[in-house]
Amino acid sequence: APKSSCPADTVLVGLNYLKGQPPVLAKPDEEYPEWLWTILEPKVHDDPRKALRAKRRIETKQRIKDENFMSTQ
């Protein structure tokens, strides 16, 4: 299994947003679910139509962001 970016018992800054709570600590890698290590991998679609649709959605979102940015310039 891949190794996490911080060792166990490291204080995870910014995750504890409630006052008066103990700090959030990283757990050992073995305590996290297996699916967590695959979350950053790109999705693999079995159906090429679904893959094409997902690609088009990403491109459309980026085009909209670009157009919105350019309209503020």
- Residue 29 corresponds to which tokens in the numbers above? 């890698």
Instruction: For residue 4, give Cα distances in angstroms to 19, 23, 42.
Output: 27, 19, 18
Higher pLDDT, 10 or 1: 10
Average pLDDT, the chain: 92
Per the confidence metrics, is the pTM higher than 0.95?
no
What are 65's two structure tokens?
């962001």
CA dist., res. 20 & res. 35, Å (int): 31
Residue 1: pLDDT above 80? no
Say whether pLDDT at 8 is over 90.
yes
Q: Is the pLDDT of residue 46 over 70?
A: yes
Give residue 21's pLDDT band: very low, low, confident or very high (50, 70, 90).
very high
